[in-house]
Every structure is written in C-alpha cells, then in structure tokens.
Structure 1
C-alpha cells in the first residue's frame, strides 16, 4: 500500500506517541520535501524502531529515520531551533513530543506564542481577498482618530498593498516602507529609516491622529519595490550566527514603527495591522503572535468556510489554542442590507459550526468555564460583526473622490462595525 504525505505524518506521530508513553523525549523532524525522522533522548535505539518509522511513513521516511541526540554533530541546531514547537508537553508519566518543520514558508502557523500579544494591536485578515479588509481598516483608523485616539496603521499586505493609498497621498508618504525595513535590517542597516508619516487625509479633530507605515516608500526614480519584496521573507542571521526567522523580523518591524510614532508624537492607542490574505507567513505572524484582537473577514460561501476550517484545524493542535481562539472575532464583510437578519443568522450558523468542530471545547451544559458558545451568543468569537454591502463601494476610487468616507452610504455600511470594534478595543465611546 502506498503511504501518502498526510498518512506518513499521522503514522510518525503515532510512533512518537508510543515511544513518548515510555517516558522518552522525542523530536519529530519533517524536512523540506516532507520526509520524517525521529530524534530521541536515549543512547540505545530499540532494534525495531527504524522499521516502525519506515512502515509508518513509507517513501516519506528519511534515509536515517531515527537518531539519538548523542549522535548529532550539532544538537543545538534542532533542540534550540526557533522553529521547534511542543506538540505534547512532558508529564510525570510521559516524555515530551516536539516538532521541527523544515519549511520554506508557514512555520509560524503552528508556533506557540511565548508572550501575550499587546491588547491594542488588531489584525485585519481574510482567508480570501476582495472582502473590503483594507477599506475597513482605514475606516476604523479614521473613526478612532475622530474620537481623539492616536492610531498607527501598518500595511503588511506587501504583495498587494492598498491601505497606504487610502490613508495618504503619494507625495506625503515617507521615503521608506515595511519592505525597506526587511531589506535594510537583513544587513544591520535599519537605523534611521523614515518609515512612518502622519496622515493628511484624515481630518484633524479632538487631538486624534492617524500614522501610516506603508508597505513601500514614496514613489520616485530608482526606488525598487519588487527587488526588496523578493528578499523580504528570507531567514537572516543574528550577530552570533543563529538564524532569525521571518516572524521575528516582522515583529521587529512593527515594534520599530510603534517606537517611531511614540518618538514623533505619543504612544499609539491602537495599532492596526492589515495582513496578507490566505495562508501566508505575514498572516501567520500577525494572527498568532501580534494581534491582541484578530478580525477574520468572511463572506458566507463554501470556499471561505472550508478555508477557515482548515486553518482552525491547524490551530487546534497548539497547546495554547484556547488563548488564540479567545482573540478571534468574525466579520461579515459583505452583508446584504435587504436580507441582513437572515444572512447574519446563516453566517453565524456556519461560523459556529466551524468553531465547534475545531477550536471550541467539548462541554456539558453546566460547564461555565469551557471555551464554548451557543450559536446566538452575541459576544462569541463566531458572532458576526456586520459591514453592509453597497454597490457604490465596488470600485471606489478614493483619489478621484475625496471625502468618500463621509458619504451617508459609507457611514451607514460601517456604523455597526466601527462601534463594535471600538468597544472591543477601548470600550464604549458612544
């Protein structure tokens, strides 16, 4: 029988589990083409263990399927890797199971968080693009500024930036953007980068302000955006020679932008991260490591729910999946105004089913501490925050239509969204 990729992973985890049950610490390694092996903390490897791995993984068994830690030339390269995550913690009766994915992209989706993300950082994410994510991010930034808050918006949709265009005119952009930080920091040259600018598009009122960190800097001759983007996701090295993963570099970029706004004005009350859509390393880092509140944009269609279900199934494997789930909130981004109640009820049913099958905990009716919610609970992660769909929002050109965000149909479409997210971030400001 041919053993496929998924079956090989299930098999190797089962072998690791059996070995761990005897008290042995096990590290499961999967290389760049998917071959798996075990690293064990015992000097004498059981005679049949290699055969068990080969039988479980088939063609996906590594050439050397089992190795002892004591036989490794450089144990720290595995045991101290920043990509190592705990799948099952050590207990009195069981050994620890850790996993090392030798991935080109995607490691941050399954990496545990070693610190609580800042509560004032909100991520805008959509599994699929074209759901009005960047427009909503701008509307929230403007709304918060108009009630006196200092807001920093960071355009992290590096392949398809759009938030910068909404927030600032080209001539008022800073000289550099997020891609420049990646290019310069790779060689230790990031000091003094002009990365943020105060928006001149958002009206000044009540001492509020919006600061923008765009994906790229001000357009000008000899400014190469694509050349920098092509190098943004590589792993770099620290001065001591250790690898520095993309997620850590992205977090450094966000921290640098925040520090710069604090230096020029004041500490931002809210930081908005406009993430890349889909399964992407930018989204992995912003959702799992940076966002204190993660807004998941969705339209009620089978493709969207299948995508979120697959994502939640990965998060379900994390030891801190509950903490991540508590930071999620669904946004119904294209809610038809004519049948709003019916649409939102159907949306909530689909979202609740997705959460129940993955991130929500099994619970009895009287278990009040369980991470589980009824379909009608308005405060549940699956409960949709609506943005009403209006045909005039399609193809809206903010450059040719100044003042677009103040038009009645725009304000009507975003009113519930803005009030709801503002309350989640800073309390009821109405």
Structure 2
C-alpha cells in the first residue's frame, strides 16, 4: 500500500469525494480493460494499481478532466508494462499488448466490445458471483473488483490477516482463469438464477457489516455502506426488478438504525431500547418508498417481504406500537415462499408476540434438529428471550449463558452475559 512522507496510506489521504468516485469508476474501468484485453486477473491487478495511483495523485494534483479515461490509460500502461516484463509470470508479452486475448483467461465475447459510456458493473457482478466460486470467494472478489476496495481494506473488515485475504482473492481469480468464464451477461434463461446469487452475495456483505460474526465491534459501516452502494448500482441498472428494489430497501431500513444500536462504550442496544430519534429518517423514507413501489408493481419475493417487515418495525412510534399481527402474517408468507431456519427463527419471535411465548418456543423446537442452525448462538439467544417472556427465568438464564459461550462477537457476548447476570440478580 502506498504511503506519503508522513507514513499516511492512500486511504487516509483520499477525501470522500475522490474515494467515492474511484469506487464508482472501478467496475467501469475494469470492464473496459477486460473487454479489450481479456485476462481478468491481469486486468484486475492493473486497475487496482491505477486506483492506488489516483488515490495518491488526485488529492494533490486535482482530478483529471476525464477521470475514467485517466484510469483506463494508466491501467492499460501498467498492463502493457507487466505483459512486456520478463518477470510477468508467463503472461503474454508483446502479443498481449496488441489486444489478443489469452486462450486460458476470461475472454471477451464476439461483438462485446464496450460502447462508449457503457456501465459494466452488472456484468462484473455476474462474473465475480459465478457459481464456480465459493461464497467466500464471491464476497471477496466482489468487494475488490466491483467495490474497488483494497485487499487490506477487505481483510480489515472481515478481521482476517491481509495475506489470507490476498490468497482468497488470488484463488478466485485463478479459478475464473482456469474455467474460462466469459466476460458477458449470462444467457437469458440463466439470468434470473444468476441475479439471485448476486443479490445473495450483496446480502451477505451487508449482514457481515450489520452484525460482525466476530471481533470487538458490533458493526462495520464500511461493509454496510459498500453493500448499499452496490445495491444502488444494481437498482439503477435494473429499476424494474422488484427483488433488487426489495434488497436495497431492506438494507436502507436496517442500516437506518445503525447509530442507535450501540452505546458510547460499544455495547449492544436491542431494538426495544433504542432511541428512535437517532434513526436515519432519510434512509427510512427512501426505503419505505422503494418497498411500497416494488410491492405494488412486481411479484412478491423474499427480499421484498423482509423489507416490508423491517418497514413495519421502523414505522412504529414505539415498541408497544409495533403491528405484530401484520409482521406475523408476512413471516407466514415468507416461510412459504422461502423457507429456511433463519426465517423460522424470526417467525418464532413474531408468533410469541402475537400468540404467546410458549407458542413461539414450540416453533423454535423444530430447529433443534436442523444442522444449519443447531448449535448457533442465535438459536439459544432467541430461546432465552422467549423463556424470559414466559417467566422461566432459570431456563432463560441458562440459554443466555449458552448463547454467550457460542458467539465470537464480543458486543453480543457481553450483552448476553449481562442478560443472564440480570436474571440471576432478580432471582435472589
């Protein structure tokens, strides 16, 4: 990572305007290079170098008149220099610089030369989220190639060593190269399924940012912000897709509560205790408008239903004013069209709020034999909450402690331990 004479890296010195512009341009520049040259892995490395160069130069020298053209030119030069180098790890040398794509890499499809101004963001997302890659690789490659994040930024967001993340990204690029995945939109008959994978990857990125699976912080604004930015980009390209709109609405309505979810000491604050005056009203208004419009004009899908549920929560004037019967009806519909253990977990809470905690606990018991969630701390945390609602404090305290032992998130662990300790004191 480049540093200046004061030891500050390019992330520190790059202002918000330049950083936002570079992330917006990253997929467009990469798309232009891959269409022209092929070899996704080499082009992606060159674009990363161009982005770093811009991050260092532009804040001091000013933005060029044509930022996109500047980045394409710089990346192309770096690509050509790499190909011509004797240490280019067997990449094509002079012939590659003449725009002949490599046989063993991502190749541009005939007639796919990029028209001026074409946005390749969606094509890149389909490539980075290809089924040939693991979910972890899809997430990492999406953040780097489409999001424009450095390997160090991604590693920091996921709390893993930079070398480990670099290996993950490298393996993903090599997988794309070895399988010869073409750089083009999927065929029409595959597009809907492939889009679902893209949306799932963005959903995974957002969820990791919203509640980190491990570490000292509950949430990462960098990841949630990037997921929202990418979801916005997809929505702009596919404005009529109800599920795209639903996912963006879900992200906005969920992230609207971010500033109220933790105290000054980083401690977790549950929804019922949050200061609703701290919620982001702009996000809430935008999210509600998106989901209202999507539900009115498209076939209902899982992301739309989740967004609708979240909208009911954020529109409630108080916890007591939450329309739980409507939430329960939406969860019952969601359970029919997209059954999975996480939906059942949340469904159980809604059942408890409407029909009583014992009814919720009965539904929760169906998950005990589900390998996808059995042993997960969230199952025990919800069980503890419903047991507490039912007045079984001893059993609730035991479940809170089990949940605390299972989680690797320190804020969640502290919250669960605090709940258990409070019940212990009340029992004395």
TM-score range, shorter chain: under 0.3
TM-score (normalised: structure 2): 0.27
TM-score (normalised: structure 1): 0.27
Q: Is the helix fraction higher in 1 or 2?
A: 2
Which structure has more relative contact order (CA 8 Å, sep 6+)? It is: 1
